[in-house]
Amino acid sequence: MARGLAVLGMIYVHLVPTEGTTTLAQKACAGVARFLEDKTAVLFCVLVGMAQALQLRQARGEAPSARSVARRSLTLAAAGFALHWLVWPTEILVPLALMMVATGMILRIRMGRNAPAFAAGLLLVFSPIAVAIFAPTSGADWTDADRHVGESAWGWATARFVFLNGNYPLLPWTAFPLCGAAMIARDWNRGGGARSWFFGGLAATVALQLTTLWTARHVRMLGALSPYLASRWTPTTLPFVFLTGATAVTLIAGLSWWEEISASGLPRLAKPLALFGRASLTHYLLHICLVIAPLRIRFPAEDWPLAIGLSAAVIYVAVAGSMTVLWFRRYPRGPFEMLWAIASARDANPSAPGRTARGMPNGANAASGNPHASGPGISPLAQPPIGTARADLRSEE
């Protein structure tokens, strides 16, 4: 379910503009887009890390081969390059593929349950140092048109775009999937842990948000420290990582705790959202190709009115959501998820028994997008639901 919320958030952010608003309702819609803008991608990255760790757990400690990880990542990266150059300049799929490789390598090391958290900590320590070292060079990387030089000119600027100051720099964005993997390694939701993670994450989110607001109002007083204390996406600062990461953890833990304390699990109306998340890659690609690409023909500068963007988002979710429910009554994966499985030489029709990973309560399933019902080779972007959600779906069929 959390993955479904992440995809819906991405669709909303991509289609609803944040500028050119006049009425109170328009400003409210734009405000929601600004609030979600930096959080949906982070949530998705954390869930990817959780899925990779859950795959390893289901495989009883036998990590996927390096060749298998490379095939999956290269296939996703190739799709990302094609989408970027042919349809819409979006970069998330390529860095996500690289994050999957890095997280998979760390999980394969088998240095204990603390390895993902330790690796994430090293990344967070090294990231501001690397940005400070290359700051004199990277300052001119972003043009007045809000485009990075590294996107079009291959060279050191491209390396800085990928690792340091792009939209999704591996330093420190790889810490997000590592955070998700660390949660699974620590059995985060066992024995009522989801409740503790929820309140801890909520307290951290509130504290960090207040600190961010205070920092934004005292830039002059902070002086040279201001760039490092402000929550900024590009280049990504540590406050940004902590704030968005805490928000993602709070949402995931809240959904898991909700399912734990609810006698009947998550509400029945939430199950289509879980199905939407199972086809996350499909909906990410389709809303770009079928909605954004046609809009860019009419509005090359992507300055379409808010009413048009919001209407397009609502229509897409309504139509695609209905089609998704029908699709999963027949197939175990989304359309592009099946193609991805075939392209990366994996089984496109995973087994459907509702088995769960050892020691993982059902509360984790809806929140994390638990992948272990369909085998260790399945993509962490598109997992069948298990537990109560799957049982309900089977009874309906």
Tracing tokens 């669709």 back to the chain, one arrives at 11
Choice between 167 and 377, residue whose per-residue pLDDT is larger:
167
How many Å apart are CA 67 and CA 52, to the nearest integer?
15
β-bridge partners, 142: 148
Q: Which stretches of the chain are DSSP H helices? A: 2-15, 24-36, 40-58, 66-86, 93-109, 115-138, 156-160, 170-173, 175-185, 193-217, 219-222, 226-229, 238-261, 271-278, 280-287, 293-298, 306-328, 335-343, 363-368, 388-396
CB atoms within 10 A of CB 282: 25
Residue range 184-234, pLDDT digits in tens: 988 888 878 899 999 999 999 999 999 999 998 888 888 878 877 888 887
* 233: helix, strand or coil: coil
Give the residue from 54, 47, 37 showing the smallest Cα distance to 252.
Answer: 47
Q: What's the pLDDT score for residue 365?
A: 45
Residue 104 CA: distances (Å) to CA of 96, 110, 240, 246, 343: 12, 11, 24, 22, 19
How many Å apart are CA 362 and CA 356, to the nearest integer?
8
**In terms of pTM, does the model score above 0.75?**
yes
β-bridge partners, 148: 142
Model confidence at 348, pLDDT cuts 50, 70, 90, reads low
Mean pLDDT of 358-376: 38
Could you give the number of structural domains in the chain?
1
- For the chain, the first-to-last Cα distance in angstroms comes to 20
Q: What domain range includes position 180?
A: 2-396
Residue range 50-99, pLDDT digits in tens: 998 888 777 665 556 667 777 888 888 888 888 888 888 777 888 999 99
Residue 390 has pLDDT above 80, yes or no: no
Residue length of the chain: 397
SS (H, E, C) 327-360: HHCCCCCCHHHHHHHHHCCCCCCCCCCCCCCCCC
How many Å apart are CA 173 and CA 164, to the nearest integer?
10
Chain-centroid distance of CA 293 in Å reads 22
Contact present, 198 and 253 (Cβ < 8 Å): yes
